């Protein structure tokens, strides 16, 4: 990648175009779904001709995969870091705030999550999203099981019950963080405000910290 004289990487015209395509695709996939979105619509939103998409992505599926990777890989990395460095459950109470910051960069992802969880499981888009969700949920389970002493070699009813509880905790954490970004219309109707305002994000993080702390440590 080219750099400035100060050594700061510069973004090429092609990279800027690819980012516009990703931004347009993320928004359209979130509002219309994978099957309901065409490359022509994405190109129009990005301000380019449809053939220009193929200069950056092999096709719609490759573009969708790139949208997911850009938003979800940082979450997977954050979970991995927590898994490798946390010494107690208390250190997990900040994880929802980290995920909130990551979602703030890609707020449309919350809608993509919900489409994958509720839509046609045979859809290519839903299959790709669910592969990511399973990875994230699995990482979350591994994290919590480490501190609760759950072993895959144990087959007692007590262990099965604990694993179910941990799974519910992971899903609850996921719903609390993503659900926030799905509530903009309701929040605006009730308060006339913007959920993405920094003060409201800070309030949400404080609330998440209290809720997750009570959920994990109680």
Q: How many angstroms separate the CA atoms of 81 and 89, rounded?
A: 14
Highest mean pLDDT (candidates 8-22, 85-99, 133-147, 197-211): 197-211
Handedness of CA 80, 114, 122, 34 (dihedral sign): negative
Question: What confidence tier does 206 reach under pLDDT thresholds 50, 70, 90?
Answer: very high
The neighbouring-strand residues paired with 9 are 3
8 Å CB contact between 208 and 100: yes
Tokens representing 129? 């999203």
Q: What is the pLDDT of residue 6?
A: 53
Tell whether the model's pLDDT for residue 10 goes beyond 80: no
pTM of the model: 0.79
Q: How far apart are the first and last CA of the chain?
A: 49
Tokens representing 18? 């690819």
- Return the half-sphere exposure (C-beta side, CA atoms, 13 A cut-off) of residue 128: 19
Q: How many angstroms separate the CA atoms of 78 and 99, rounded?
A: 8
Residues 106-150 pLDDT 10s = 888 888 888 877 777 788 888 888 888 888 888 777 777 766 655
Average pLDDT of the residues in 174-189: 90
Tokens representing 84? 């490798």
Tell whether the model's pLDDT for residue 4 goes beyond 70: no
Q: What is the pLDDT of residue 84?
A: 76
- Return the half-sphere exposure (C-beta side, CA atoms, 13 A cut-off) of residue 172: 13
Task: Please provide residue 16's backbone torsions phi and psi, each rounded to the nearest 5 degrees.
Answer: -65, -40
């Amino acid at each position: 990648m080219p750099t400035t004289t100060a050594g700061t990487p510069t973004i090429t015209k092609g990279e800027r175009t690819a980012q516009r395509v990703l931004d347009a695709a993320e928004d359209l996939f979130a509002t219309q779904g994978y099957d309901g979105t065409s490359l022509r619509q994405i190109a129009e939103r990005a301000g380019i001709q449809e053939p220009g998409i193929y200069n950056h992505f092999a096709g719609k599926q490759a573009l969708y995969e790139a949208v997911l990777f850009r938003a979800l890989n940082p979450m997977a990395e954050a979970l991995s870091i927590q898994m490798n460095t946390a010494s107690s459950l208390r250190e997990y109470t900040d994880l929802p705030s980290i995920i909130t910051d990551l979602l703030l960069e890609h707020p449309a992802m919350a809608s993509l999550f919900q489409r994958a969880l509720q839509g046609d499981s045979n859809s290519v888009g839903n299959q790709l999203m669910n592969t990511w969700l399973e990875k994230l949920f699995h990482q979350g389970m591994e994290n919590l099981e480490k501190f609760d002493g759950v072993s895959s070699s144990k087959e007692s009813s007590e262990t099965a019950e604990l694993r179910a509880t941990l799974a519910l905790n992971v899903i609850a954490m996921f719903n609390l963080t993503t659900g926030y970004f799905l509530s903009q219309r309701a929040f605006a109707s009730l308060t006339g405000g913007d959920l993405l305002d920094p003060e409201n994000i800070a309030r949400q993080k404080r609330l998440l910290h209290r809720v997750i702390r009570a959920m994990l440590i109680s």
